[in-house]
């Protein structure tokens, strides 16, 4: 009987001390990862040269586009320093055309850009449709 009474007292004391403690501080939650973005790159079939175009983000080559081709990339949102240049293979390497642009892609955005080639150089422009 004494043992049962002692057990009850300990149980009551534990319950009372737990009730008097402040609630735990919630842990900081991990930030929600930014929603990825999609970038569709295409090349006009009517370009004045058949040279492939290399698309670079920073110093890293991302894709080579031939005439009338396209590719779609999944990227984290953000600002990208983009370089366009003609392939350095064969005749195309002697043309020395290129350009630098900056593009901003928002979270969840799907952007379609087209590589445009003219006498002044290469550039990315919003694609129709």
User: What's the DSSP call for residue 103?
Assistant: E
The answer as to whether 9 is a domain residue is no
Domain containing 59 equals: 37-126
The answer as to whether 52 is a domain residue is yes
The answer as to whether 13 is a domain residue is no
Closest CA to 82 of 117, 38, 123: 123
What are the tens digits of pLDDT across the range 34-66?
688 999 999 877 776 778 889 998 777 789 998
User: What's the DSSP call for residue 99?
Assistant: E
Q: What is the pLDDT along the chain (129 residues), one digit of tens a residue?
A: 545 554 555 455 555 544 455 555 544 554 545 688 999 999 877 776 778 889 998 777 789 998 889 999 998 898 999 999 888 777 777 777 788 999 999 999 999 999 988 777 888 999 875
> Structurally, how many domains does the chain consist of?
1
Mean pLDDT in the chain?
76
The answer as to whether 12 is a domain residue is no
Integer Cα distance of 14 and 9 in angstroms: 9
Do residues 53 and 65 lie in contact, with contact meaning Cβ atoms separated by under 8 Å? yes
The answer as to whether 118 is a domain residue is yes
Radius of gyration, alpha carbons of the chain: 30
Give SS3 for 19.
helix
pTM, rounded to two decimals: 0.66
The answer as to whether 46 is a domain residue is yes
Q: What is the CATH number of the domain that holds 102?
A: 2.60.40
């Amino acid at each position: 009987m004494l043992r049962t009474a002692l057990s009850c007292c300990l149980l009551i004391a534990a319950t009372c001390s737990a009730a008097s403690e402040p609630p735990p501080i919630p842990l900081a939650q991990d930030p929600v990862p930014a929603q990825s973005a999609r970038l569709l790159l295409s090349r006009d079939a009517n370009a004045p040269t058949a040279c492939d175009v290399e698309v670079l983000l920073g110093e890293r080559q991302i894709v080579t586009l031939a005439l009338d081709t396209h590719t779609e990339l999944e990227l984290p949102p953000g600002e990208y320093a983009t370089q366009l240049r003609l392939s350095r293979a064969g005749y195309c390497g002697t043309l020395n055309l290129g350009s630098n642009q900056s593009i901003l892609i928002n979270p969840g955005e799907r952007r379609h850009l087209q590589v445009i080639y003219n006498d002044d150089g290469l550039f990315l422009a919003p694609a129709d449709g």
